[in-house]
């Protein structure tokens, strides 16, 4: 037998030579070092042990949610205005100011519940997370395609996700568990009407909307704040799948949406979305029948028009899945000057959760990885050490000073661009209470009424098929909720399940809910 190491390279073979991570050339990548051709193997087999032990560690924990996704790159181009008004009136964030100004970005589309290799035709919200590499550092806008969410308080997030994830015993996603939880969660009705309609299975990542979902703030040069909501509208149009369409697609390909996005960009058919923003003055808005900080609600567009501020174009694909998709890390805390948090109770929980999970999932130095580093801004910190520190962040002139304050060198604090304190003053007592204006049914009903007939039919069929697998008490409670959402929806789902208004009339409101006077009236005349 020929010894591979002694083979001369083929003439004209210009390919780079394989090495190990120590820079040693690899002469034989086919055979371990053994005593004689038949073994035994030896323990000083450095090259083999390094190769196999690195392989043993190839996987990092997948994201606890949104494990499957597709990343692309592109740019955001500002219009310099909010509709017809100068945008500086509302925000001083630099990326929005000048018409034509471009900011590089990365986007990750995802499904939520399935694992890293799961189907992209699943009925599931789609993640829509964007990292803008601005000159003031990174801004992440981490949203979804359905505009609202299941819950309004971050403390319920592990529960809603557990109900949607596989059963801890059978490891199957079980509709009985999902609707058990949802039947006790009236604020989820708006999201459920979206998710179980065809919008719950977007045709692919290019043909879906994106929304910031949570309420944020904009801050102008005078320190005046406004509440805002973000909307991304695809120039490609919106396309959705029915359960039957999705079954055919996923029978052939679990990754059709990643493929579609990758191939469109490769052929130069660059997808675009326009960014529109709704703005409200920064106060409680007692005149509204919902709370502007409630992420189970949308803001009516006739009162709060969604006005264009710029567009996003995606024009490049990743070169490597692991370094640019598995390791990219988004978070709602990642804001730049001119943008701020609101007091939305989901937003604060999210803001802790993202960087916490990323320190575990990727490692404490995840922000030193190329895909996560700011590109347009400097990084100068006194943070040091930790697993996988790759380099020392920029330090002051005296490298001995890794603390602040110091009079012998080191880094100094920045001066506030304009105002340091912003927004209304808040006084309150520490408490645990739900928000007063929950209004869980009205917008869910309006959403149902806006669906086209085929979408209503699909929604009802999906509810009947899935809720039918739950316990009778869960079915009854879901019909009760749907009758409060919209008579027709409640009657149709009830008919499919063999449950009429008389079967649910005896149910009391849940302890976790506050009914509006309109809800009370509907309850009195149920069905």
Q: Which residues are annotated as a binding site?
A: 354
Q: Which one among 45, 184, 236, 357 touches ligand HEM, defined by CB under 6 A?
A: 357
Q: Which residues are known binding-site members for heme?
A: 354
CB atoms within 10 A of CB 344: 24
Q: Which one among 69, 210, 271, 374 touches ligand HEM, defined by CB under 6 A?
A: 69
By residue count, the chain amounts to 527
144 annotated active-site:
yes
Cα separations in angstroms, 447 against 103, 199, 237: 35, 12, 19
Q: Can you tell me the distance from the alpha carbon of 92 to that of 336, in angstroms, rounded to the nearest whole number?
A: 10
The residue (of 193 and 460) whose beta carbon lies closer to ligand HEM is: 193
| Least distance between ligand HEM and beta carbon 433 (Å) | 18
- Asked whether 282 and 216 are in contact (CB, 8 A), the reply is no
The active-site residue out of 20, 24, 31, 144 is 144
CB atoms within 10 A of CB 238: 14
The residue number with the shortest CB distance to ligand HEM is 127
Q: Which of residues 45-64 bind ligand HEM (CB under 6 A)?
A: 63-64
Site string for ligand HEM, 86-125 (x = CB under 6 A): ----------------------x-x---------------
Q: Can you tell me the distance from the alpha carbon of 30 to that of 377, in angstroms, rounded to the nearest whole number?
A: 46
* Ramachandran category for residue 319: left, alpha or beta (phi over 0 → left; psi -120 to 50 → alpha): alpha
| Least distance between ligand HEM and beta carbon 190 (Å) | 13
User: Quick one: tokens of 27?
Assistant: 């002469």
Does position 154 interact with ligand HEM (CB under 6 A)? The reply is yes
| Least distance between ligand HEM and beta carbon 346 (Å) | 5
Backbone angles phi, psi at 444, to 5 degrees: -65, -40
| Least distance between ligand HEM and beta carbon 263 (Å) | 20
User: Quick one: tokens of 370?
Assistant: 């190329």
CA nearest 295: which of 241, 342, 236?
342
Q: Which of residues 319-338 bind ligand HEM (CB under 6 A)?
A: 328-330
- The DSSP symbol for 235 reads T
Q: Which of residues 132-151 bind ligand HEM (CB under 6 A)?
A: 142-144, 149
66 annotated active-site:
yes
- Please identify, among the stretches 65-73, 170-178, 424-432, 455-463, the one whose residues bind ligand HEM according to the rule CB under 6 A: 65-73
Q: Which one among 182, 246, 346, 459 touches ligand HEM, defined by CB under 6 A?
A: 346
| Least distance between ligand HEM and beta carbon 114 (Å) | 13
Residue-wise burial string across 1-39, b where 16 or more C-beta atoms lie within 10 A, e elsewhere = eeeeeeeeeeeeeeeeeeeeeeeeeeeeeeeeeeeeeee
Site string for ligand HEM, 456-485 (x = CB under 6 A): ------------------------------
| Least distance between ligand HEM and beta carbon 454 (Å) | 27
How many CA atoms within 13 Å lie on the side-chain side of 253?
A: 9
Q: Which one among 201, 213, 334, 484 touches ligand HEM, defined by CB under 6 A?
A: 213
Q: Can you tell me the distance from the alpha carbon of 291 to that of 325, in angstroms, rounded to the nearest whole number?
A: 35
Task: Please give the residue ranges that form the binding site for ligand HEM (CB under 6 A).
Answer: 63-66, 69, 108, 110, 127-129, 142-144, 149, 154, 157, 213, 295, 328-330, 346, 349-350, 353-354, 357-358, 361
Residues carrying an active site annotation:
66, 144
């Amino acid at each position: 037998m020929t010894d591979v190491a002694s083979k001369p390279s083929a003439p004209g073979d210009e390919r780079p030579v394989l090495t190990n991570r120590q820079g040693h050339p690899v002469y034989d990548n086919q055979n371990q070092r053994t005593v004689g051709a038949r073994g035994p193997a030896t323990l000083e087999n450095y090259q083999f042990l390094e190769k196999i032990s690195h392989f043993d560690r190839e996987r990092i924990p997948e994201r606890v949610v949104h494990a499957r996704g597709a990343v692309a790159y592109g740019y955001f181009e500002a219009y310099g205005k909010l509709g017809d008004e100068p945008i500086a009136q509302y925000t001083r964030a630099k990326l929005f100011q000048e018409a034509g100004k471009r900011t590089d970005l990365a986007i990750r589309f995802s499904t939520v519940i399935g694992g890293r290799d799961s189907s992209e035709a699943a009925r599931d919200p789609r993640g829509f997370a964007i990292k803008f590499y601005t000159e003031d550092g990174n801004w992440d806008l981490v949203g979804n395609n359905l505009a609202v969410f299941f819950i309004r308080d971050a403390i319920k997030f592990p529960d809603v996700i557990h109900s949607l994830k596989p059963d801890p015993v059978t490891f199957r996603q079980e509709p009985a568990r999902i609707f058990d939880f949802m039947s006790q969660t009236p604020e989820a009705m708006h999201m459920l009407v979206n998710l179980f309609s065809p919008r719950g299975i977007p045709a692919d990542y290019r043909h879906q909307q994106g929304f910031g979902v949570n309420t944020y703030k904009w801050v102008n040069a005078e320190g005046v704040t406004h509440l805002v909501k973000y909307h991304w509208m695809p120039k490609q149009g919106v396309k959705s799948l029915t359960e039957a369409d999705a079954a055919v697609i996923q029978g052939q390909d679990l990754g059709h949406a990643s493929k579609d996005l990758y191939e469109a960009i490769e052929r130069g058919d660059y997808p675009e979305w326009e960014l529109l923003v709704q703005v409200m003055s920064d106060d409680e808005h007692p005149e509204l029948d919902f709370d502007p900080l409630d992420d189970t609600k949308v803001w009516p567009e006739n009162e709060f028009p969604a006005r264009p501020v710029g567009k996003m174009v995606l024009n490049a694909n990743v070169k490597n899945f692991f370094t640019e998709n598995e390791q990219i890390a988004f978070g709602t805390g990642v804001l730049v000057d001119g943008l701020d948090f609101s007091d939305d109770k989901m937003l604060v929980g999210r803001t802790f959760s993202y960087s916490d999970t990323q320190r575990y999932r990727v490692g404490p130095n995840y922000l030193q990885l190329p895909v996560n580093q700011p590109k347009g801004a400097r990084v100068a910190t006194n943070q040091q050490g930790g697993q996988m520190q790759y380099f020392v962040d920029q330090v002051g002139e005296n490298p001995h000073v890794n603390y602040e304050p110091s009079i012998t060198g080191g880094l100094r604090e920045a001066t506030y661009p304009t105002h340091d304190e912003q927004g209304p003053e808040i006084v309150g007592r520490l408490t645990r209470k739900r928000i007063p204006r929950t209004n869980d049914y009205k917008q869910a009903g309006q959403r149902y009424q806006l669906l086209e007939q085929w979408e209503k039919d699909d929604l009802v069929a999906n509810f009947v098929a899935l809720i039918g697998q739950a316990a009778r008490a869960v079915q009854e409670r879901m019909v009760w909720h749907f009758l409060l959402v919209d008579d027709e929806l409640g009657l149709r789902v009830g008919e499919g399940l063999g449950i009429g208004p008389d079967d649910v009339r005896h149910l009391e409101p849940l302890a976790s809910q506050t009914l509006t006077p309109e809800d009370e009236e509907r309850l009195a005349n149920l069905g």
